[in-house]
Every structure is written in C-alpha cells, then in structure tokens.
C-alpha cells in the first residue's frame, strides 16, 4: 500500500486538467468573481473595439454592446444606477424610453442602461469610474439611499473572500469558482423559485430591516451617500462630462394617505446643480395620486413610470439646450 493510489492520482490529474482548461478557456468570464461588484472592470468586456456589458462578477448588467470609441455623430447616454433605474428590461426602463424619445426627435442617440440591482453609492461610483473611459455625451446618475446596507454587506463579503482566510482556500481554484458559479447562477438562479430562496434569505432580510430602522445607521448611510455622490459628480465634472442626477423617491402609504419621500436627498442634492449638472427629482415627475398606479413596491416603478421619467428627462435636456442638433432628414 502506497501513499498515493491510482484513483487519487486520477483525481488530481482531473482537477489539474480542469484548472488549466478554466484558466485558458473561461478566464475572460472569471473576472471579478467573488468581488461582489467591487471589481473595477467586471461586466465590461472589451472585444475587437467593442464593449459588451455582461452579467458577471456581481454586476448583473442587461446584455448590451457599444463601440469602445464613440462615433462622432452619436449622442451616448449612460445611465448609472440601481434596480430602480435598471427596470425590468432595457426597453421598459427610462433608459430605453429616453432612447425612443431622442430618436423620435431625430437625435442619433445611444442610451445604455447600467443599472445594477442592490448597488449603493460606493459601487455606483466604481461604475462611474469605468464609464469615464467610453466618452459618454451625458451620464445620468440615479441617486438613492436604499441600497447602502447591501453595499456594506457585499463589501464585507468581498473583503472576507479576498483575505488569506483558510475558509477561502478552496475557492482559490478557478475551476472550483467556475463550478460554484455555474451552480449558483445557472442551476439555483434559473430553477429554484424566488419564493423558496426568499425563505432561505429571510434572516438576511431581517438583519437589513433591523439596520434600516436604526436612525443612527440611517444618518450614517445618508451622509455616506452624499459624500460619495459628490465624489462621483466631481469625477464626471473633472472629465468635462455633462451629468444629470435623478433622485430617488420612495412610495409610502399610510391611512390611505400617499407620501413620496426622498429620504432627505433634496436637502443636499440641490447644491450639486450647476451649468454642467442638472437635477431631476423623481418627486417632481409624479403626483402622489399618480404614484398609486405607477409603483410596483415602495421603490420600483412600473414601465409606465419609467416612460414618464424618460419624458421628463427629454424635456429637461431640451429645455436646457443640452441635446445635439437633430439629424437632417
């Protein structure tokens, strides 16, 4: 009897083969895995002068493509935001509706939806930094305060995973990461119903709820959103990119009374407006009565709500004279 049996050697050979295969065949899709959206370039895949937005590395972009170098006659609008800005599809988000509005106005517009579910100020800022590389004509930054818990939690996961902690040793293997990714994203993500997963994540939801009710935590998050948003805006201004801020509003109903609450964003976002920074509070787009039929929950709006936001955006851009001249018909 020897220390290494033939079956064990076969096991090691298979692992090594898979590891090499993953490294050389799948390496482009491994980027940012276990960075939970904090990897700088995850989701932006550059191939032959084109950029593909991919669902990877904790960034669940809607699949979209655009030229790395913006053609001179194209008005490129990049919308950076969370699940509210993302909507249910590119076409039914305000990005898609804005593109239709602009095209109808004769502008050769290319509107890209970079909304990512659960992204708070910190992770949106990372997307903004990436966006700077692709010469946007306009960046629309959707600002809200409801995702800071998730940002913090995912930061903790990223830090934990990228530490030399022994619990992460197995996932240092790219092959094992790929297998884990396939299982969680393809098998669980596509087959396990949402209601089943919700029970499994009930504890996490509870923790979020408790944290959200803590006024001190709320105050810290609001301050953090403000500071980070200012940084994002400064980055865009330093690069000379016109910016439009859409501020989130939350739909609340109590005793049949509807209120639209922007969680104090308006108290500081006004300072950010300038000749190169426009502001569109969602609060100004809908009346509370309209909101009853436009919100699907406390934060997310239905496609009709997205259409109204897009209309307001187009009007504002036109009013401020930010839109390029329409193409000659």
Partner 1 sequence: MSFTSWQYALFLPLVVVLYWPLPRLGRMALLLAASYFFYGLWDLRFLALLMASTGIDYFCARSMVGIREGRAKILCTTLAPIVWLGGCSFLGQSIISISPTSLIVAGIFPVLFVPMHEWIWTWSEEKRRRGFMWLSVLTNLAVLGFFKYFGFFASSLLNLLGAAGIDPGWTLPHIILPVAVSFYTFQSVAYAVDVYKGKLQPATDLLTFSAYLAFFPQLVAGPIERPAKFMPQFTQAARWEWEHLHAGLRLLLIGAFKKVFVADNCAEIANYVFHPDSTPNAPWALLGILAFAFQIYGDFSGYTDLARGSARLLGINLSTNFRFPYLASGPSDFWQRWHITLSSWFRDYVYIPLGGNRCGPTRTVVNLWITMVLAGLWHGASWTFVLWGAYHAVMLTAYRLIPALGALETATTRGKRLFAISFMFVLTLFGWAIFRAQTLGGLEHWMQAMTIWTASATWFRAACWLLIHILPLILLQIASRHLEDESELGHLSWWSRGLIFFALFLLFASSSTSEQEFIYFQF
* Region near partner 1 per CB under 8 A, out of 63-71, 195-203, 205-213, 300-308: 195-203
Distance of closest approach, residue 306 Cβ to partner 1, in angstroms: 26
Contact 237, 276 (CB under 8 A): yes
Give which of 67, 68, 77 is closest to 110, Cα–Cα: 77
Contact 116, 61 (CB under 8 A): yes
The residue among 191 and 329 lying less far from partner 1, judged by its C-beta, is: 191
Distance of closest approach, residue 21 Cβ to partner 1, in angstroms: 13
The residue among 27 and 170 lying less far from partner 1, judged by its C-beta, is: 170
**175: which 2 tokens?**
């092959």
The residue among 193 and 240 lying less far from partner 1, judged by its C-beta, is: 193
Distance of closest approach, residue 299 Cβ to partner 1, in angstroms: 22
Q: How many residues lie near partner 1 (CB under 8 A)?
A: 36
Find residue 113's DSSP bridge partners: 79
Q: Does 2 bind partner 1 (CB under 8 A)?
A: yes
Q: Does 10 bind partner 1 (CB under 8 A)?
A: yes
Q: Does 182 bind partner 1 (CB under 8 A)?
A: yes
State which of residues 50, 197, 234, 320 lies at the interface with partner 1 (CB under 8 A).
197
The residue among 183 and 276 lying less far from partner 1, judged by its C-beta, is: 183
**78: which 2 tokens?**
């990049």
Q: Does 30 bind partner 1 (CB under 8 A)?
A: no
Q: Does 7 bind partner 1 (CB under 8 A)?
A: yes
State which of residues 133, 183, 219, 292 lies at the interface with partner 1 (CB under 8 A).
183
Distance of closest approach, residue 195 Cβ to partner 1, in angstroms: 7
Separation of alpha carbons 236 and 203, rounded Å: 38
Which residues have CB under 8 Å from 161's CB, separation 6+? 34, 35, 36, 168, 171
Distance of closest approach, residue 106 Cβ to partner 1, in angstroms: 44
Site string for partner 1, 142-181 (x = CB under 8 A): -----------------------xxx-xxx-x--x--xx-
Phi and psi at 49, nearest 5°, equal 75, 0
109-115: strand order across its sheet: 109-115, 75-81, 138-143, 243-247, 277-281
Distance of closest approach, residue 196 Cβ to partner 1, in angstroms: 4
Q: Does 320 bind partner 1 (CB under 8 A)?
A: no
Separation of alpha carbons 65 and 87, rounded Å: 18
Contact 40, 130 (CB under 8 A): yes
Helix axes 148-161, 121-131, angle to 10 degrees: 80
Sign of CA pseudo-dihedral 222, 226, 231, 233: positive
Footprint of partner 1 (CB under 8 A): 1-3, 5-11, 14-15, 165-167, 169-171, 173, 176, 179-180, 182-184, 187-188, 190-193, 195-197, 199-200
């Amino acid at each position: 009897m020897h220390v290494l049996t033939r079956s064990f050697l076969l096991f090691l050979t298979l692992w090594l083969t898979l590891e090499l295969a993953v490294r050389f065949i799948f390496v482009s899709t491994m980027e940012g895995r276990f960075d939970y959206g904090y990897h700088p370039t995850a989701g932006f895949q550059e191939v032959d002068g084109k950029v593909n937005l991919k669902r990877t590395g904790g960034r669940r972009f809607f699949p979209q493509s655009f030229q790395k170098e913006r053609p001179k006659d194209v008005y490129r609008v990049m919308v950076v935001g969370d699940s509210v800005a993302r909507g249910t599809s590119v076409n039914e988000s305000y990005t898609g509706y804005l593109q239709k509005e602009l095209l109808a106005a004769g502008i050769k517009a290319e509107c890209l939806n970079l909304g990512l579910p659960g992204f708070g100020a910190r992770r949106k800022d990372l997307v903004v930094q990436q966006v700077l590389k692709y010469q946007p004509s306009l960046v629309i930054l959707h600002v809200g305060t409801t995702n800071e818990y998730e940002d913090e939690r995912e930061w903790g996961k990223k830090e934990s995973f990228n530490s030399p902690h022994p619990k992460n040793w197995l996932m240092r293997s790219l092959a094992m990461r790929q297998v884990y990714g396939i299982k969680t994203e393809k098998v669980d993500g596509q087959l396990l119903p949402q209601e089943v997963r919700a029970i499994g994540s009930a504890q996490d939801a509870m923790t979020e709820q408790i944290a959200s009710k803590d006024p001190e935590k709320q105050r810290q998050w609001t301050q953090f959103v403000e500071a980070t948003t200012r940084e994002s805006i400064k980055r865009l201004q330093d690069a000379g990119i016109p910016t439009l801020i859409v501020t989130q509003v939350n739909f609340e109903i109590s005793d049949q009374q509807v209120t639209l609450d922007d969680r104090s964003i308006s108290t500081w976002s006004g300072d950010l407006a300038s000749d190169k920074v426009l502001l569109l509070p969602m609060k100004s787009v809908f009346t509370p009565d309209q909101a009853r039929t436009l919100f699907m929950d406390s934060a997310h709006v239905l496609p009709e709500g997205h259409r109204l936001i897009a209309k307001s955006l187009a009007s504002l851009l036109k009013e401020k004279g930010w839109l390029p001249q329409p193409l000659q018909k």
